[in-house]
């Protein structure tokens, strides 16, 4: 005679999910499993630990199974959960927004490095704002600053506005729908952007998590991947305040190309900051007349 079946516990379900993800070859199997399990169980990372021996309710088990199937089918965790962490903040996603990624935090780091007084009343501009992650992260670090985020997609602008409110900076941020800086006449101390920079011909070759789930407008940089940079550089001379800086994200192989475009547009490149993998990621620009002995002055 056998005894009662031992109930499945949180730790067991998490381990089983992690194993399935690892066997499927997912790069971040353990992290993905934790994120999905926390959502399915209605808890957070701490809860997964302190409640590890709690029996798994049938409803939570069913939700975990459904979420895990979506991940195994190639859907990114951020899209499954509808949110993504960036700079320690939570950002809601929508179909019109690119999913923020850790490499893009390099842009925030490079922009903050240009700021001498973090409490100064700086004016910020985020071109192609998407979720608003760049602008919102900067406003979070610069309490005296105000900013504008622009996106071609109305849905992205609405999402960014909601994210600004949820992260406590809604009163210092405006979001508008438009094509780059066409509708602006103001000048800004910091201009940031993570523009589309993937060459059209290679988009289909990207990882399925990107090619199938990120919006094409946020990826497609034209035939050579540089269309957005050309548009931004045309507007930068009238957008940057004296002594101001722009920080643009680039692809791993675009450092030289962007430097040439910047030079032709009258800009110097005082810094190219590398991401955690050591690849060039964030290019800082300033107008040449703002240089003194080739050393950029902080804002």
Distance CA 65, CA 53 (A): 19
Host H or E run for residue 20? helix 10-23
pLDDT of res. 293: 36
* Helix and strand element counts for the chain (H, E): 11, 9
Percent of the chain with pLDDT over 90: 91
Phi, psi of 158 (to 5 degrees): -65, -40
C-alpha angle 175/164/252, rounded to 5°?
Answer: 80
* pTM of the predicted model as reported, rounded to 2 decimal places: 0.92
pLDDT of res. 250: 98
Task: Give per-residue pLDDT as tens, 76-106.
Answer: 999 999 999 999 999 999 999 999 999 999 9
Under DSSP, the state recorded for 116 is: S
What pLDDT band is residue 5 in, cutting at 50, 70 and 90? low
């Amino acid at each position: 005679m056998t005894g009662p079946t031992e109930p499945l516990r949180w730790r067991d379900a998490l381990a089983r999910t992690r194993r399935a993800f690892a066997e499927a070859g997912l790069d971040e199997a353990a992290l993905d499993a934790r994120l999905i399990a926390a959502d399915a169980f209605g808890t957070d990372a701490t809860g997964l630990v302190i409640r590890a021996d709690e029996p798994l309710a049938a409803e939570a088990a069913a939700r975990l199974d459904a979420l895990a199937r979506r991940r195994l089918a190639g859907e990114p965790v951020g899209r499954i959960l509808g949110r993504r962490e960036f700079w320690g903040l939570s950002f809601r996603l929508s179909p019109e927004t690119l999913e923020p990624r850790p490499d893009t935090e390099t842009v925030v780091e490079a922009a903050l490095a240009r700021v001498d007084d973090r409490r100064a009343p700086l004016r910020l501009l985020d071109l192609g704002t998407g979720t608003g992650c760049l602008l919102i992260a900067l406003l979070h670090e610069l309490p005296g600053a105000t900013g504008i985020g622009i996106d071609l997609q109305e849905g992205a602008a609405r999402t960014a506005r909601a994210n600004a409110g949820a992260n406590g900076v809604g009163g210092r941020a405006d979001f508008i729908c438009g094509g780059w800086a066409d509708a602006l006449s103001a000048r800004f101390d910091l201009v940031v952007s993570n523009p589309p920079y993937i060459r059209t011909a290679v988009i289909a070759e990207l990882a399925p998590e990107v090619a199938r789930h990120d919006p094409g407008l946020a990826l497609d940089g034209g035939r050579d991947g540089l269309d957005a940079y050309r548009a931004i550089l045309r507007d930068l001379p009238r957008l940057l305040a004296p002594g101001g800086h722009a920080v643009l994200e680039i692809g791993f192989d675009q450092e030289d190309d962007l430097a040439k475009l910047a030079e032709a547009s009258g800009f110097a490149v005082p810094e190219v900051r590398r991401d955690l993998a050591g690849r060039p990621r964030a290019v800082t620009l300033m107008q040449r007349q703002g240089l003194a002995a080739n050393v950029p002055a902080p804002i």
